Structure 1
């Protein structure tokens, strides 16, 4: 399903990013870049400053709006990005192809695709079904399938323990740009199941952020659905986000074994708006309004659920969107 959606869009997205980088670099500088690329085997490795400049250009280009399958996406830098939902993974059909950031996709390295976070960015992905946590570099766009918030490489899916299932309930939190000098402490935990997984080459990482729904009245939809996840005890040494992603370090946190799936049509600060949304979705049935208090503000979430499994959640999402709630999404709570 994911493969079918991805076919045909990846070269276009990669071209858009590449064109943006070239435009930002300028004509003379672009010609120099091409010359240097041709002589890569004989040239010295780029300096940290050169890598930073290149990453900044790619990042700026990755924040431009784009359209896939008649849907307009608005990437943005969201330092507070924190969202729950469903993760998928992609592999063989795209192995060796260019990512949206212009890198070669390697399904045997830890990386990810996101629809709106800047490229590259690092995120922390928690599998809410088994407590495994992995720092991942986002360097691609996707998944362009309703109800999925992140598409991981096969290697990342292996380490998070859902390669065979194909889909997992996850929490995704931003850790920063790979060039940020921000420090993250993690405690490595040996995972016995990983002994059978062959070690893979080390990749780089990136992230993207979703534009808030128009109906949310400025509220961050991510913050409305994030479950409390207790972090693992910190331990030295200090590790930069991109180093943690390359190290393929898996650690564990306590998670609620009884997570539930919902489809959230919208979140409102005005109760009357929530009532109007519920009335619009009346043909679907089973729609409720749930009140929550966030930062001393009242929010009213229009939801259907809890739902039994991913298949039921996908069907409910399709029904709700068919009634005009285009920003509806699957969340884990």
Structure 2
């Protein structure tokens, strides 16, 4: 749909034949690259545009928070130009949205399994009813819906520090951690919790083999010990989110972020 949009806007008939566009302004993101930087292009809101008889009006929307369906796009668009002039890499952490500025950072949560990642919107689409975002193939894999193709998600706009805007009466938006929490104790990526210490130690060795330094943390609940495998703490939620992306990319799909206050 993205390339179709470019075709409609610029009347490039060659797009319909599937031919590759050349000369994108920005470099292609590296495989698995986290959503940072601008890949060589400037941020823009964009002009109104029309697709299949429907007008879309891009705008600044710091409070954007919507629930709907996500889909993903991959090989057919790999290496082609995105709506803001970059090259699309299906293995990078990017997404397409109809109206958010390019780029915009968003937190995408798969409501069917609870997984969430931060993506960088650099493209337009999807132009299918009820779908609110198209993510890269890699993002779909990390969110756990690459096989089914479509899933229900929540999409929240973030600022450049990975924070969600909270409305403030009579003024500019203020920002809070995602989700709202205190940060005195820091943010942790928890890869697992085990009743047997030996099992936790095995998981730590698996993480170390993939280059992740994890710690063993003992918690007591109802008189029972629970051995937690954790990475961190991280002072900023976005740093923890970036680490979570890397950990999940290495196959630790049960990892989650936990935020704790100071003790």
Interval of TM-score (by shorter of Structure 1 and Structure 2): 0.5 to 0.7
The residue aligned with 1:188 is 189
Q: CA deviation at 1:186?
A: 5.0
Structure 1: gaps (5+ residues)? 16-33, 41-50, 200-234, 255-333
User: Which secondary structure state, in structure 1, belongs to the residue aligned with residue 189 of structure 2?
Assistant: coil
Q: Which of 212, 233, 236 does residue 236 from structure 1 map onto?
A: 233
Q: CA deviation at 1:11?
A: 4.8
Residues 165/186 of structure 1: CA separation in 2 closer, same or farther (3 Å cut)? farther
Q: Which 4+ runs in 1 deviate beyond 4 A?
A: 11-15, 177-180, 182-186, 239-247
Residues 99/7 of structure 1: CA separation in 2 closer, same or farther (3 Å cut)? closer
Q: Does 1:108 align with 2:80?
A: no
The residue aligned with 2:59 is 76
User: CA-to-partner distance for each residue in 1:61-90, whole Å, 9 max, x for gaps?
Assistant: x33211112211011111111110100000
Residues 14/239 of structure 1: CA separation in 2 closer, same or farther (3 Å cut)? farther
Q: Does 1:248 align with 2:248?
A: no
Residues 82/151 of structure 1: CA separation in 2 closer, same or farther (3 Å cut)? same
User: CA-to-partner distance for each residue in 1:127-159, whole Å, 9 max, x for gaps?
Assistant: 111010111111100001111000000000000
Structure with greater helix percent: 1
In the TM superposition, 1:90-109 aligns within 5 A as 90-109=73-92
User: Which secondary structure state, in structure 2, belongs to the residue aligned with residue 77 of structure 1?
Assistant: coil
Q: CA deviation at 1:59?
A: 2.7
Contact 1:132–1:253 under 8 Å retained in 2? no
Q: Does 1:170 align with 2:153?
A: yes
Residues 122/241 of structure 1: CA separation in 2 closer, same or farther (3 Å cut)? farther
Q: Which of 145, 154, 161 does residue 128 from structure 2 map onto?
A: 145
Cα separation, 2, equivalents of 1:240 and 1:82: 18
Residues 240/190 of structure 1: CA separation in 2 closer, same or farther (3 Å cut)? closer
Q: Does 1:8 align with 2:4?
A: yes
Cα separation, 2, equivalents of 1:133 and 1:179: 13
Structure 2: gaps (5+ residues)? 12-22, 28-36, 164-174, 179-185, 193-202, 211-231, 249-254, 259-263
Contact 2:187–2:257 under 8 Å retained in 1? no
The residue aligned with 2:229 is none
Q: CA deviation at 1:238?
A: 3.3
Contact 1:13–1:100 under 8 Å retained in 2? no
Q: Does 1:136 align with 2:133?
A: no
The residue aligned with 2:46 is 63
The residue aligned with 2:199 is none
Alignment length (residue pairs) = 175
Residues 178/103 of structure 1: CA separation in 2 closer, same or farther (3 Å cut)? farther
